[in-house]
C-alpha cells in the first residue's frame, strides 16, 4: 500500500531553493515533507502518469528529500526531477525487502530512468517423466524431453539451459549413452516393434520389452546422476557392473555396458568435464561501450559448460548518471563512512542479478566480472533459503570460464553496436529520401500493412511497427477480415485502416475542439507503408480523407519487374510522383525489411487460421447443435475432422442424428 504522508509531520526536510520549489506541485512537496524515516521503496510519476524512476531507501524521508533540495541544472537527474509531479511510497520492514520490492517493480513498471533488463522468454529445461501410472504403461519407463514452462513436482527437471540447442544436445547425449526413450506415451503404448532409434542404438526399446523395467530404471538413475555432475561415479559404477557380468560369463550384457562406458568416456573427453567441484555455477561478465552495455550469462550445470546468452539493458546512461550523482549513494548508518559509488559495471551486474533471479532459480555460486553488493546476495539468500555467494576474482577453471564470458560479452556488444549503427544509417537515409521533418530521428515511427489469404480464404491483415530503429514485435497486430467479397484486397485494406485509425482520428478531432488530449491517447505514425501499388494507395487515401488525416503519411510499396527485391517504386497518396530509390539504397533496404516483415506476419497468421478451419474445423463442438455424441458419430463415420471437411452436405446428413439443415450448417462452418 502506498504510504499516505501526514502534512503535519514534525520532521521537515531541509528547505530547498525557491526555484526548485516553484517547479513542482505543492501537493508533491507536502507529500515529501510527510515521509517517515523508515525503509521503503519510492516511485516517481510524470504528468501523464508514466513511471519515471523506482528507488529504494533505508530512510525514505532522507533519500526522497535529497532529490528536491538543490537545483540539478541540465544534468540527467535534473531532467528527470523536473518531470516529477507525483510520488508513491511503500514502507517495508527491512532493507532486504526494499531491495526485492524495488526490482519487482522495475520489472513490472518499466521505469524510464532505471537500468532495465528485458527477458520475455522463459528458459528451457530437460524433463524426465516421473511417477508411474497403472493406466499408462509408458509412465513406468521415464521419457526424456525438451520442456519450457512451469515445473511439476512429479517429474524431474534439469537446467535451466541457456538455449534450446543446449537442451537438444543434452537429449542426444541421453540417447547415445543411456539409450533413454524420447517418444510420447501414445506412441510408446501402441508400438508392436522397435523403431529406427533402436536400430541405430539410440534407444533400448522398452516399448516392446527389449529391456527390463529394472535395467531401464538403472539407466535412468545413471542419466540423472550424470546430469547432476556425478559423471566419474557413473563411469566407475558402469565399469564395476561390466566386470561383474564378465566374471559370470554374461558377455552380451558385459559388451552392452562396455559400449556405454566407451560412449560416456568419449563425451567426458569431448566436453572436458574435469572440474566436478563446481556443479552448478552462473558466470556473469559485463562490457560497456558507446553508451550501450552487454551482460553475458554463461551457465555451468552438472560440471558441464552449457553455453551462454547475452543481455542488453535499456536506459544505461540515464540510470547510471542518476545513481552516481553526488549525494545519491546508498545510505549507510551515520556512524559509518559512506561507501564509494559503485562502478558502472557493478551497477549493471547488481541490476541484472536483482531482476534476473527474481523468477529464475539461482545457483549457489555466481562468478562475476565486477564486485557486487553483499546486501544483494544476502537478500537473495533469504528469499530462496539457500546461501548464495559471489566470486569476483576467480582462479583456475573459474578464471577460464570468466575469461570466456568476457570475450563473448565483448563480441556481442561489438555486434550490437555495428547493427545499430547500420540500422540508424538506414533510418536516416529513409528520412532524407522522403523529406520527413523530425525533431529526433529516434522517434521515427512507421506502421506497415499487408493483406494475406488463399483464394479469398482466411483473409487476415497485419500491422507491424518500426520505431527506435528496430521492429517492435510487442506492438504487432493481426486483424481478421470479415464481411467482404473473398479475394477483395482493396476492401480488406479499407477495413483494416478504418479499424486501426478510426478511433484515434475521432479522439484527435475532439481534442482539437476541447483543447485537451485524453491521457493514454496513442500517436499517429510518421509514415504508413502499404504493401501495394496505385490501387492500394488509392484505397488508403480514401480512408484517410474520410478520417481527416494527413495524406502525406501514406506511401505504397509497388513491386518492380519480376517482383524482385530492390526494384520497388514508392507511390505517394498526396499526388507526388513515384520514386525509385535504387537497389543499393539504404532507405529502400529499410522499406523492404519492414514490408517483408509485414508480409511474414500476415502470412503466418493466415496459415494458422486456414489450418484451424481446414483441419480442426474451428472445432466441431463450436458449431451450434454439435455436442460430444454427434461429434463422435461424425468422426467415426468419416475418420476424422479432415474427412468431415471433405464430405458433402448430403453425406453428412446420412449420419444418425444429423438433420439436413444441421448437415448444411456443418458444411458451411468447415468451408
Regarding pTM above 0.75, the answer is no
**pLDDT tier, 117 (very low <50, low <70, confident <90, very high otherwise):** confident
Query: Cell for 671?
Result: 468451408
**pLDDT tier, 176 (very low <50, low <70, confident <90, very high otherwise):** confident
The pLDDT value recorded for residue 1 is: 41
What mean pLDDT is predicted for residues 515-539? 84
3-state secondary structure of 57: strand
Q: Between these two residues, 278 and 603, which has the higher pLDDT value?
A: 603
Is residue 290's pLDDT more than 50? yes
What is the C-alpha separation between 191 and 282, in angstroms, rounded?
A: 42
The pLDDT value recorded for residue 175 is: 86
The pLDDT value recorded for residue 137 is: 54
**pLDDT tier, 617 (very low <50, low <70, confident <90, very high otherwise):** very low
Residue 347 exposed, middle or buried by CB count within 10 Å (0-12, 13-18, 19+): buried
Alpha-helical runs (H) found in 200-250: 213-227, 231-247
Residue 433 neighbours by CB under 8 Å, 6+ apart: 579, 581, 585, 587
Task: Judge whether 296 and 405 are in contact, CB under 8 Å.
Answer: yes
Query: pLDDT tens digits, residue range 563-591?
Result: 677 778 888 988 888 888 877 788 888 88
Residue 625 neighbours by CB under 8 Å, 6+ apart: 662, 665
The pLDDT value recorded for residue 443 is: 86
Domain(s) labelled CATH 3.30.420.340 in the chain stretch across 281-306+343-414, 441-515+523-602
Q: Classify domain 441-515+523-602 by CATH number.
A: 3.30.420.340
Query: Cell for 346?
Result: 557493478
Q: What is the 3-state secondary structure (H, E, C) of 522-583?
A: CCCCCEEEEECCHHHHHHHHHHHHHHCCCHHHEEEEECCHHHCCCCCEEEECCCCCCECCCC
Is residue 19's pLDDT more than 70? no
What is the C-alpha separation between 310 and 287, in angstroms, rounded?
A: 11
Task: Judge whether 656 and 634 are in contact, CB under 8 Å.
Answer: no
In words, the CATH class of domain 281-306+343-414 is alpha beta
Is residue 542's pLDDT more than 90? yes
Q: Between these two residues, 394 and 646, which has the higher pLDDT value?
A: 394
Residue 299 neighbours by CB under 8 Å, 6+ apart: 160, 161, 162, 281, 282, 283, 305, 306, 307, 308
Is residue 280's pLDDT more than 50? yes
What mean pLDDT is predicted for residues 511-540? 84
What is the C-alpha separation between 583 and 605, in angstroms, rounded?
A: 29
**pLDDT tier, 120 (very low <50, low <70, confident <90, very high otherwise):** low
Q: Which of 173-187, 216-230, 309-323, 324-338 has the lowest mean pLDDT?
A: 324-338
Task: Judge whether 606 and 454 are in contact, CB under 8 Å.
Answer: yes
Q: Which of 387-396, 542-551, 604-613 has the lowest mean pLDDT?
A: 604-613
As a whole number, the mean pLDDT across the chain is: 81
**Which residue, 503, 495, 501, is CA-closest to 479?**
495
The pLDDT value recorded for residue 476 is: 92
The pLDDT value recorded for residue 122 is: 73
Domain(s) labelled CATH 1.10.150.20 in the chain stretch across 617-670
The pLDDT value recorded for residue 23 is: 63
3-state secondary structure of 52: strand
Is residue 475's pLDDT more than 80? yes
**pLDDT tier, 594 (very low <50, low <70, confident <90, very high otherwise):** very high
The pLDDT value recorded for residue 121 is: 66
Task: Judge whether 344 and 295 are in contact, CB under 8 Å.
Answer: no
What mean pLDDT is predicted for residues 507-518? 79
What mean pLDDT is predicted for residues 95-122? 83
What mean pLDDT is predicted for residues 327-343? 50
**pLDDT tier, 116 (very low <50, low <70, confident <90, very high otherwise):** confident
Fold of 617-670: DNA polymerase; domain 1 (1.10.150)
In words, the CATH class of domain 18-109 is alpha beta
**pLDDT tier, 294 (very low <50, low <70, confident <90, very high otherwise):** very high
Q: Which of 51-65, 71-85, 381-395 has the lowest mean pLDDT?
A: 71-85
What mean pLDDT is predicted for residues 403-411? 91
Domain(s) labelled CATH 3.40.1440.10 in the chain stretch across 18-109
The pLDDT value recorded for residue 136 is: 54
What mean pLDDT is predicted for residues 51-80? 83
β-sheet bridge partners, residue 127:
145, 157
The pLDDT value recorded for residue 70 is: 73
Query: pLDDT tens digits, residue range 450-469?
Result: 988 876 777 889 999 999 88
What is the C-alpha separation between 276 and 298, in angstroms, rounded?
A: 17
**pLDDT tier, 332 (very low <50, low <70, confident <90, very high otherwise):** very low
**Which residue, 650, 634, 642, is CA-closest to 671?**
642
Percent of the chain whose predicted confidence (pLDDT) is above 90: 15
What mean pLDDT is predicted for residues 206-231? 85
Query: pLDDT tens digits, residue range 623-655?
Result: 777 877 787 788 777 766 777 877 888 888 888
The pLDDT value recorded for residue 655 is: 86
Look at strands 457-467 and 365-368 and give their pairing. Answer: unpaired
What is the C-alpha separation between 163 and 182, in angstroms, rounded?
A: 19
Amino acid at each position: 500500500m502506498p504510504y499516505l504522508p501526514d502534512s503535519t509531520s514534525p520532521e521537515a526536510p531541509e528547505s530547498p531553493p525557491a526555484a526548485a520549489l516553484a517547479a513542482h506541485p505543492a501537493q508533491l512537496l507536502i507529500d515529501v515533507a510527510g515521509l517517515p524515516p523508515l525503509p521503503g521503496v519510492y516511485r516517481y510519476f510524470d504528468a501523464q502518469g508514466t513511471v519515471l524512476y523506482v528507488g529504494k531507501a533505508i530512510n525514505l524521508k532522507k533519500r526522497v528529500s535529497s532529490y528536491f533540495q538543490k537545483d540539478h541544472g541540465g544534468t540527467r537527474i535534473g531532467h528527470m526531477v523536473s518531470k516529477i509531479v507525483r510520488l508513491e511510497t511503500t514502507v517495508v520492514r527491512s532493507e532486504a525487502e526494499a531491495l526485492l520490492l524495488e526490482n519487482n517493480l522495475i520489472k513490472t513498471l518499466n521505469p524510464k530512468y532505471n537500468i532495465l533488463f528485458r527477458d520475455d522468454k522463459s528458459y528451457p529445461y530437460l524433463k524426465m517423466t516421473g511417477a508411474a501410472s497403472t493406466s499408462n504403461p509408458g509412465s513406468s519407463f521415464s521419457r526424456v524431453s525438451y520442456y519450457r514452462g512451469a515445473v511439476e513436482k512429479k517429474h524431474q527437471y534439469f537446467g535451466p539451459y541457456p538455449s534450446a540447442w543446449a537442451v537438444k544436445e543434452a537429449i542426444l547425449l541421453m540417447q547415445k549413452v543411456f539409450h533413454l526413450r524420447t517418444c510420447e506415451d501414445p506412441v510408446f503404448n501402441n508400438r508392436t516393434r522397435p523403431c529406427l532409434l533402436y536400430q541405430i542404438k539410440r534407444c533400448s526399446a522398452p516399448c516392446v520389452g527389449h529391456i527390463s523395467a529394472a535395467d531401464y530404471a538403472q539407466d535412468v538413475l545413471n542419466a540423472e546422476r550424470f546430469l547432476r555432475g556425478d559423471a566419474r561415479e557413473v563411469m566407475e559404477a558402469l565399469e564395476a557392473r561390466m566386470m561383474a557380468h564378465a566374471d559370470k560369463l554374461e558377455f552380451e550384457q558385459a559388451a552392452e555396458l562396455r559400449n556405454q562406458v566407451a560412449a560416456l568416456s568419449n563425451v567426458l573427453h569431448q566436453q572436458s568435464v574435469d572440474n566436478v567441484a563446481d556443479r552448478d555455477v552462473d558466470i556473469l561478465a559485463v562490457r560497456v561501450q558507446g553508451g550501450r552495455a552487454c551482460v553475458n550469462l554463461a551457465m555451468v550445470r552438472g560440471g558441464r559448460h552449457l553455453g551462454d546468452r547475452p543481455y542488453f539493458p535499456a536506459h544505461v546512461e540515464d540510470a547510471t548518471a542518476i545513481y552516481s550523482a553526488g549525494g545519491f549513494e546508498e545510505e549507510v548508518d551515520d556512524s559509518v563512512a559512506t561507501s564509494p559509488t559503485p562502478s558502472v559495471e557493478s551497477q549493471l551486474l547488481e541490476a541484472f542479478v536483482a531482476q534476473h533471479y527474481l523468477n529464475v532459480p539461482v545457483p549457489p555460486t555466481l562468478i562475476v566480472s565486477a564486485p557486487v553488493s553483499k546486501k544483494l546476495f544476502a537478500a537473495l539468500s533469504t528469499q530462496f533459503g539457500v546461501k548464495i555467494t559471489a566470486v569476483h576474482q576467480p582462479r583456475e577453471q573459474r578464471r577460464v570460464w570468466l575469461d570466456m564470458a568476457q570475450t563473448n560479452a565483448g563480441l556481442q556488444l561489438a555486434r550490437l553496436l555495428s547493427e545499430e549503427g547500420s540500422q540508424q544509417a538506414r533510418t536516416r537515409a529513409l528520412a532524407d529520401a522522403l523529406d520527413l521533418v523530425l525533431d529526433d530521428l529516434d522517434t521515427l515511427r512507421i506502421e506497415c500493412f499487408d493483406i494475406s489469404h488463399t483464394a479469398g480464404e482466411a483473409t487476415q491483415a497485419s500491422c507491424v511497427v518500426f520505431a527506435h530503429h528496430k521492429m517492435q514485435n510487442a506492438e504487432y497486430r493481426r486483424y481478421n477480415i470479415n464481411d467482404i467479397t473473398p479475394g477483395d484486397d482493396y476492401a480488406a485494406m479499407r477495413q483494416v485502416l478504418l479499424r486501426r485509425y478510426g478511433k484515434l482520428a475521432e479522439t484527435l478531432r475532439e481534442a482539437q475542439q476541447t483543447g485537451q488530449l485524453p491521457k493514454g491517447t496513442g500517436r499517429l505514425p510518421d509514415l504508413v507503408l502499404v504493401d501495394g501499388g496505385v490501387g492500394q494507395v488509392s484505397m488508403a487515401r480514401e480512408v484517410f480523407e474520410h478520417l481527416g488525416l494527413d495524406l502525406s503519411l501514406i506511401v505504397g510499396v509497388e513491386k518492380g519487374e519480376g517482383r524482385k527485391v530492390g526494384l520497388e517504386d514508392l507511390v505517394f497518396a498526396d499526388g507526388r510522383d513515384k520514386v525509385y530509390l535504387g537497389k543499393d539504397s539504404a532507405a529502400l533496404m529499410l522499406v523492404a525489411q519492414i514490408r517483408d516483415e509485414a508480409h511474414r506476419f500476415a502470412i503466418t497468421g493466415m496459415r494458422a487460421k486456414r489450418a484451424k478451419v481446414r483441419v480442426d474445423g474451428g472445432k466441431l463442438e463450436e458449431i451450434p447443435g454439435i455436442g460430444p455424441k454427434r461429434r463422435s458419430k461424425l468422426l467415426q463415420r468419416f475418420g476424422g475432422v479432415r474427412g468431415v471437411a471433405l464430405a458433402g452436405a448430403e453425406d453428412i446428413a446420412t449420419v444418425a442424428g444429423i438433420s439436413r439443415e444441421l448437415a448444411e450448417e456443418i458444411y458451411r462452418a468447415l468451408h
